[in-house]
Amino acid sequence: MEKAATREGYGKALLELGRINKDVVVVDADLGDSTKAEHFGKQFPERFFTTGIAEQNMIGTAAGLSVSGKIPYASTFAVFSERAFEFTRNIVSRNKLNVKLTGSHAGIATGEDGKSAQAIEDVAAYRALPNMVVLQPADAAEAEKMVFALAEYKGPSYMRVHRIAMPIIHGSNYKFEIGRGEILRQGKDAVIFASGTMVHEALKAATILENEKINVYVANISTIKPIDEKLVIELAKKTNCVITAEDHNVIGGLGSAVAEVLGENYPCLMKRIGVKDAYAESGKPDELYRKYGLDAESIAEEVMKIISKKK
């Protein structure tokens, strides 16, 4: 199966979008080779602005371009984007500016770079900002679709991408829509709502569980805000057993978003799988996933535990 990092999908789509929409501009904080924004910069240098290691300047520049009628995509490492959080809040979010912020190298999947570079709080931070859309693609193909969808969407957004290669699970006919989740696997005993890299771990966990005669839904929640409340409630009612899986702190991310929906609409058995309010360490992504309980085997084990409670 073909593999690619979601950051590759981001870079590829920017280049394609730049060819058909002259209003698209890209601002980067000296990391274009890592975020893959450099693909756009090499082709359209007159529309590519690098601010150096100055993320506040990156956001300010993007904001200025947006009020000038341009469609700016601003990108850096997810953890570095937080240096400019106050600018994002007071300039972009508060004024509903049409700035598309992308944070690359998210989660503990960043691996060997260590905890200083592993953003596990970014979804929580940006989800708390009014007017902000928060997205996380499951594969490079979905990342491409997101970039194009954001060009049509008028307003601020945060898109979270990764550097590790993951299988391509979406075909060319896949239609991404902001605010809509998708069912990737049918089930009946429980549902796993997953996002980003964890979609793949959830799919593998579903195969493990099938061998134990347990059938679970796997749903890709690629829009974390606004979350697909209808889908969350529908699958919760069908299973009465909900699991969330994310490469992010369990506080404030996908698990919290799902819990908020269910707490007000359909309380049921629920387990959040993610980084348990602690910083990780340096290591290979698969090793870190095993150690911190984010791998498919750990997910399957947690699903079996919660289903036993249900019974």
- Which run of H or of E encompasses 21? none
**By C-alpha distance, which of 20, 72, 28, 19 is closest to 54?**
28
Distance CA 140, CA 289 (A): 20
Count CB neighbours of 114 within 10 A.
14
Catalytic, 264? Answer no
* 3-state SS, residue 38: helix
- Which run of H or of E encompasses 230? helix 229-239
Counting every residue written for the chain, the total comes to 311
Phi, psi of 31 (to 5 degrees): -130, 25
End-to-end distance of the chain based on CA atoms, in angstroms?
Answer: 37
Please state at what angle helix 254-265 crosses helix 229-239, rounded to 10 degrees.
70
Distance CA 106, CA 121 (A): 9
**Tokens 């090793």 sit on residue:** 287
Catalytic residue from among 38, 55, 82, 142: 55
Active site residues: 55
